[in-house]
């Protein structure tokens, strides 16, 4: 077994680094949020098949096993996938079992999945694993391989430092390779790759023979990841998440590995669906949290609302792959915060009086429901807001996937309601409809499209109205906006009236995750034209609605399918008629409609679907 204390004894100097990830592999199953990719395919040489059954925890270590079962060989492989980063240090404590024709590699691989770069920290090739232990750095057109002899069947710590223009590799704290050539220039992630040789693998020394054990493995005790101190984005304020089914269970989903579970944290403190850490997106380092399950499945909600603002909090904050994003960072005050909400269908984002930035990468799907409204409210600073969608952004690519995810979603069902307060603000509209209240200051709304694509006029309430003739962006109603900037021309906004009723957010923690359209909204949960306001939902009398529904079914044999207010009006009219003129209702058992409504809301929060 590995070192039960999980202590790094290699002695590699950690000055200038901040540890941002650790996994001691002390449970029976792989943490699917931290390690989302498990290989399912035939090995490139045709000699074996990758199987998730070959990845298993035992006695404080994770095993990547090569197994002969009479029908051929299977092997295992897993990696951090989209959980990689741009530059960093990775340290791994591991050992290899001896055996002819079987081995494994510890390597860094591009998160994009391309094969432009590869850094093999170690890849033993000899049968006894004491010679031909190589480290290899692959560049776009060539590679450098350095052999070093030592006993790889014993526990050793392998470390790679990857900095701008420099790679250094260490064995137990001793540097064995340093180069400024073939240095990757894209995010990389750590992986462990089993391998079984074929007869044609001359570079390897031959395929398994009669002396090869039927089971060999790469044993991994622990993994640590660091970020360069001058690139560290800071801490993420404490986030809360919705949860799904509580029990660990087998899954048939090929993207989540063999096992999945619905609790955020198990008895050992292991994460399961949500993960926090440092992420590099389009050249920016973020303090991040992301849902590692498929979009709109296990985790749909993230809530983050610190009461006070700590100096350790990052200013670049990323929330990825959650359907509902509920963020209240007004506690930051005049500290500027840059928020990226990637893949959110709806939610609320509130910021303080600093010079803030918000990017909403909108998403929706055919079965996601009608609530596609994102409310963004900032304070007195000069803010930059970017409204875009999955089809037009690269930010979603490292995160989002699953049967409900549509990488081509162009935002046409999404609605942004934005209030930027005072300050000189810029709001860029690349997707969706918008109601924008820019308040005081010199404010601009911009499009990355030519002016010929739009009509611009003044609405009845004095707002500037911009309509996309192609129908993708819909209508933007602009209040207090001084300037329109298209890709070919900048012009004064013809209508600069203010919005009479300010845009408001639903208080975080009040109704997150219910998915209900806000009271006073238009059909399908979109804002009523010209209203620009989403108010807190009014209290719903579910017992009155349930009783009216029962009466309607008894009278007509049908279930009411229209607006509940009209149902209550029908019920009141029926009650006002003489008793003889109304059909006699059929006796029914009493129904607790409050309990059913609460169950339906809980189901939606957990699964994204309404059912009882």
Q: Which residue range(s) make up the domain with 122?
A: 17-230
Residues in a beta bridge with 418:
376, 436
pLDDT at site 371: 83
**In this structure, are 332 and 376 located in the same domain?**
yes
184 lies in some domain: yes
Residue 328: which H helix or E strand, with range? strand 324-329
Helix (H) or strand (E) holding 552: helix 542-556
The verdict on 462 and 564 lying in the same domain is no
User: Distances from the Cα of 94 to the Cαs of 66, 152, 301, in angstroms?
Assistant: 16, 9, 37
- Token representation of residue 51: 């199987």
Tens of pLDDT, residue by residue over 482-505, are: 999 999 999 999 998 888 777 876
170 plus 248 within the same structural domain: no
Same domain, 340 and 402: yes
Does residue 558 have a pLDDT over 80?
Answer: no
Q: State the CB neighbour count (10 A cutoff) for residue 172.
A: 16
Given this model, what pLDDT does residue 354 score? 96
Using an 8 Å Cβ cutoff, are 454 and 486 in contact? yes
Q: Pick the last residue of a domain from 525, 551, 566.
A: 525
- Kindly indicate the confidence band of residue 540, based on its pLDDT and cuts at 50, 70 and 90: low
Report how far apart, in Å, the C-alpha atoms of 345 and of each of 164, 373, 608 are. Answer: 36, 7, 11
State residue 358's pLDDT score: 98
The more confidently predicted of residues 448 and 261 is 448
Among 95-99, 247-251, 461-465, 539-543, which is the least confidently predicted range?
A: 247-251
Q: Domain check: are 393 and 452 in the same one? A: yes
Q: Answer yes or no: are the C-beta atoms of 150 and 94 closer than 8 Å.
A: no
Boundary residue ending a domain (230, 259, 274): 230
Mean pLDDT calculated for residue range 205-215: 93
pLDDT tens-place string over residues 180-208: 999 999 889 999 999 999 988 888 888 99
DSSP letter for each residue of 353-394: SS--EEEEEE---TTS-S--EEEEE--SS--EEEEEEGGG-S
Q: What is the pLDDT of residue 32?
A: 73
Note whether 125 and 65 are within 8 A (CB): no
Q: What pLDDT shows up at residue 318? A: 95
Strands 316-320 and 284-291: parallel
Asked if residue 178 and residue 309 are part of one domain, the reply reads no
Helix (H, G, I), strand (E, B) or coil at 24: coil
d(CA 378, CA 427): 12
* Residue 235 forms part of a structural domain: no
Rounded Cα distance, 126 and 346, in Å: 55
**Positive or negative torsion for Cα 218, 220, 221, 224:** positive
pLDDT at 301 over 60: yes
Plot region of 131 (φ>0 → left; ψ -120 to 50 → alpha; else → beta): beta
Output 205 or 409, whichever has higher pLDDT.
Answer: 409
CA 269 to chain centre: 20
Q: Closest Cα to residue 419, out of 376, 456, 460?
A: 376
Which of these ranges, 405-409, 438-442, 539-543, has the smallest mean pLDDT?
539-543
In a domain? residue 193 = yes
> What secondary structure does DSSP assign to 560-611, as a single string?
--S-HHHHHHHHHHHHHS-GGGSPPPPP-----HHHHHHHHHHHHHHHS---
Cβ-Cβ contacts under 8 Å for 195 (sequence gap 6 or more): 43, 48, 66, 75, 102, 103, 104, 105
Answer yes or no: is 580 within a domain.
Answer: yes
Same domain, 222 and 271: no
Judge whether 509 and 303 are in contact, CB under 8 Å. Answer: yes
Domain count, the chain: 3
595 in any annotated domain:
yes
Residues 106 and 149 grouped into a single domain:
yes
Quick check: is 258 in a domain? yes
Higher pLDDT, 531 or 552: 552
Q: What is the pLDDT of residues 22-47, one digit of tens each?
A: 889 887 778 777 888 888 889 999 99
Q: Assess whether 203 and 340 both reside in one domain.
A: no
> Residue 45's domain is classified under what CATH number?
2.60.120.200
How far is 81 from 399, CA to CA, in rounded Å? 9
Residue 537 lies in a domain: no
Are 306 and 396 in the same domain? Answer: yes
Do 296 and 433 sit in the same domain of this protein? yes
SS3 1: coil
Pair 518, 551 in one domain: no
Domain boundary among 230, 256, 290: 230
CB proximity list for 26: less than 8 A, separation 6 or greater: 6, 57, 60, 268
């Amino acid at each position: 077994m590995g070192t039960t204390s999980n202590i790094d004894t290699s002695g590699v100097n950690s000055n200038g680094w901040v540890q941002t990830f650790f996994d001691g592999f002390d449970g029976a199953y792989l943490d699917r949020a931290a390690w989302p990719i498990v290989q399912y395919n035939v090995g490139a040489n045709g000699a074996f098949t990758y199987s998730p059954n070959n990845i298993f925890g035992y006695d404080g270590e994770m095993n990547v096993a090569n197994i002969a079962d009479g029908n051929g060989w299977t092997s295992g492989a897993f990696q951090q996938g989209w959980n990689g980063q741009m530059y960093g240090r990775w340290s791994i404590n591991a050992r290899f079992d001896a055996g002819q024709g079987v081995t494994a590699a510890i390597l860094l691989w591009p998160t994009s999945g391309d094969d432009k770069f590869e850094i093999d920290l170690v890849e033993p090739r000899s049968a006894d694993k004491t010679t031909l232990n190589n480290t290899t750095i692959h560049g776009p057109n060539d590679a450098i391989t350095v052999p070093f002899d030592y006993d790889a069947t014993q526990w050793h710590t392998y470390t790679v430092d990857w900095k701008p223009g420099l790679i250094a590799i260490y064995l137990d704290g001793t540097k064995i390779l340093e180069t400024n050539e073939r240095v990757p220039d894209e995010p990389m992630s750590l992986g462990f790759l089993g391998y079984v040789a074929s007869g044609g693998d001359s570079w390897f020394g031959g395929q398994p023979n009669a002396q090869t054990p039927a089971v060999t493995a790469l044993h991994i005790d622990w993994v640590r990841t660091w970020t360069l101190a001058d690139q560290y984005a800071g801490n993420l304020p404490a986030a809360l998440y919705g949860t799904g089914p509580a029990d660990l269970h087998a899954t048939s989903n090929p993207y989540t590995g063999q096992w999945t579970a619905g609790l955020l944290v198990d008895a050992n403190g292991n994460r399961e669906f949500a993960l926090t850490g440092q992420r590099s997106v389009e050249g920016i380092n973020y303090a991040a949290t992301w849902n590692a399950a498929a979009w709109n499945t296990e985790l749909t909600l993230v809530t983050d609302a610190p009461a006070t603002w700590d100096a350790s909090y990052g200013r670049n904050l990323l929330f990825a792959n959650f359907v509902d994003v509920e963020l209240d960072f007004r506690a930051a005050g005049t500290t500027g915060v840059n928020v990226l909400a990637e893949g959110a269908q709806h939610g609320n984002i509130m910021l303080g009086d600093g010079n803030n930035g918000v990017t909403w990468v909108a998403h929706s799907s055919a079965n996601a429901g009608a609530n596609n409204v994102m409310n963004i409210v900032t304070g007195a600073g000069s803010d930059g807001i970017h409204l875009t969608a999955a089809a037009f952004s690269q930010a979603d690519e490292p995160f989002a996937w699953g049967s409900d995810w549509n990488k081509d979603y162009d935002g046409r069902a999404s609605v942004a309601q934005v209030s930027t307060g005072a300050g000189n603000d810029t709001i860029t509209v690349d997707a969706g409809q918008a109601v924008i209240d820019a308040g005081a200051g010199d404010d601009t709304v911009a499009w990355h499209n030519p002016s010929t694509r739009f009509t611009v006029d003044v609405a009845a309430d004095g707002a500037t109205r911009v309509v996309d003739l192609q129908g993708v962006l819909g209508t933007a109603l602009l209040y207090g906006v001084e300037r329109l900037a298209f890709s070919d021309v900048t012009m004064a906004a013809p209508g600069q009236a203010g919005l009479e009723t300010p845009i408001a957010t639903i208080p975080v923690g009040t109704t997150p995750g219910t998915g209900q359209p806000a009271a006073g909204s238009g059909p399908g949960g979109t804002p009523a034209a010209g209203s620009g306001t989403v108010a807190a939902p009014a209290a719903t009398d579910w017992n009155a609605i349930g009783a009216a529904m029962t009466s309607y079914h008894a009278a007509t044999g049908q279930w009411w399918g229209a607006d509940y207010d009209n149902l209550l009006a029908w019920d009141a009219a029926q009650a006002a008629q003489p008793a003889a003129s109304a059909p006699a209702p059929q006796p029914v058992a009493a129904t607790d409609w409050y309990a059913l409504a609460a169950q339906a809301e809980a189901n939606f929060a957990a699964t994204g679907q309404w059912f009882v």
